[in-house]
Amino acid sequence: MNWNDYRRAVDAIPFSADFQERTEELVCQTAQIAEIEKECIAMKKKGLIKAAAVAAAVALFTVSAYAASHWLSPAQVADMYGYPALAQAFESEDAVRLNQSVQTENFCVTLAGLVSGENLSGWTDQADQARTYAVMILESLDGTPLDTDDFSIVDYTFTPLVAGFTPWSVNNWTLDAGVSLLEQDGVLYYLLDTQNVEMFADHTVYLAFYQGTVPSQETFTMAEDGTISFVEEIEGPHALFTLPLGKSQADPAAVEQFILNSGFDREWFTTVSPDAGAAYTTRENEDENGSKHIEILPQPGEDTDFEETN
């Protein structure tokens, strides 16, 4: 195989010479149309937002019912990201509508909905991989509009955890997960797209929200029975939801495969030792703007029948 010929063949693909110019024009036109539509919607909603703020101050226990009237539904969140198949899935009978709310500091954290399926969003290229999707809502209790910059996905984490598995072994970083964040009317919506967590359904499966990045012993403790909870000293808004999964959804073989594919020792998944965390390394990348990206690096596994080629 001559890869120079391959490169020449790719270079010869007759893309439109004006593609960039046309695309930039299209972006500008679409942005203008969206701006006009947004202004119209904002004018229509003005009265509604005022009424909603008053209702929130009256009684907290009505949060769920009140929420239904002004929050975006999980399907609407998926739609806003341009995932119609996911939106449809959130509306289907298979979706779990939770609307479980937790007050933490001056905030209300709500797990809105959950659904599993294949190929419903754009995060992963693995079209045949079963995924779990969840929408979490964050808003202030006093009606102060929240901003994505203050609760960015760099500083806050929304991740699955599984009882009986150390928090640093089963989480967004090992489950090929992605979190997207959007703001609408001062309310923040987190969309989680993770490898299917139903395979762990014979354990308690959690969704955790907290300030910080990779789960560690500074944030979580795991009791002898495998139960996971936040450490007492934790700071910042945080919430831990338990997912209503049926044990029949569990797939121990898939969990076994997940452990094998990870490249980590089995003990790392199940044992909390005083030096837990030392068995893996994290790599912190920082760009010229000071933005950080942290990765958990697994040990090389057995799946290495490749040669480095250049």
Partner 1 sequence: MAPVGTEETICRLVREYSDMLLRLASTRLPSVSDAEDAVQEVFLRLLAAPVSFRDAGHEKAWLIRTTLHRASDIRRQAERRNLPLEEAAQTAAPEPGTDLLQAVQALPEKYGAVIHLHYYEGYSIREIGKLLGLPSATVGTRLARGRERLREMLKEEIK
Per rule CB under 8 A, is residue 304 in the interface with partner 1? Answer: yes
Instruction: Give the angle subtended at the CA of 201 by the CAs of 82 and 152, to the nearest 5°.
Output: 40
Closest CA to 110 of 102, 122, 119: 102
Among 232, 246, 253, 285, which residue sits at the site for partner 1 (rule: CB under 8 A)?
Answer: 285
Is 181 in contact with 151 (CB distance < 8 Å)?
Answer: yes
Q: Is residue 3 close enough to count as binding partner 1 by CB under 8 A?
A: yes
Binding mask 94-133 for partner 1 (x = CB under 8 A): ----------------------------xxxxxx------
Provide the pairing of β-strand 130-140 with 187-195.
antiparallel
Report the DSSP beta bridge partners of residue 264.
Answer: none
Q: Which residue has the tokens 């703001």?
A: 183
Minimal distance, residue 294 CB to partner 1, in Å: 9
The one segment of 1-9, 216-224, 234-242, 273-281 that binds partner 1 by CB under 8 A: 1-9
CB within 8 A of 260, min separation 6: which ones?
Answer: 301
What are the b/e assignments for 7-23, b being 16+ CB within 10 Å? Answer: eeeeeeeeeeeeeeeee
Q: Does 303 bind partner 1 (CB under 8 A)?
A: yes
Does 266 help bind partner 1 (rule: CB under 8 A)? no
User: Which two three-digit tokens encode residue 279?
Assistant: 């068995």
Main-chain dihedrals φ then ψ at residue 161, nearest 5 degrees = -140, 155
Provide the H-helix boundaries in the chain: 3-11, 19-58, 63-70, 74-80, 84-91, 252-262, 266-270
Interface with partner 1, residue 5, by CB under 8 A: yes
Q: How many residues bind partner 1 (CB under 8 A)?
A: 65
- According to the binding rule CB under 8 A, does residue 61 interact with partner 1? no
- Least Å distance, CB 26 to partner 1, is 6
185 in the Ramachandran plot: left (φ > 0), alpha (ψ -120 to 50) or beta? left
- In the complex with partner 1, the residue whose CB is nearer, 22 or 50, is 22
Binding letters toward partner 1, positions 153-192, x by CB under 8 A: xx---------------------x-x-xxx----------
Q: What is d(CA 302, CA 304) in angstroms, rounded to the nearest whole number?
A: 6
DSSP single-letter state for residue 145 = P
Which stretch, 47-55, 68-76, 98-106, 288-296, contacts partner 1 (CB under 8 A)? 288-296
Report the residue number, 3 or 61, with the smaller CB distance to partner 1: 3
First to last CA, the chain: 14
Nearest distance, CB of residue 285 and partner 1, angstroms: 6
Closest CA to 108 of 206, 186, 193: 186
Residue 14 binds to partner 1 (criterion: CB under 8 A): yes
Q: Which CB sits closer to partner 1, 16 or 248?
A: 16
Q: Is 284 in the site for partner 1 (CB under 8 A)?
A: no
**Joined tokens for residue 136:** 């979490």
Q: Does 81 bind partner 1 (CB under 8 A)?
A: yes
Shortest Å, Cβ 198 to partner 1: 20
Residues near partner 1 (CB under 8 A): 1-10, 12-16, 19-20, 23-24, 26-28, 30-31, 34, 80-82, 122-127, 148-149, 152-154, 176, 178, 180-182, 261, 263, 285-287, 289, 291-293, 295, 298, 300-301, 303-310
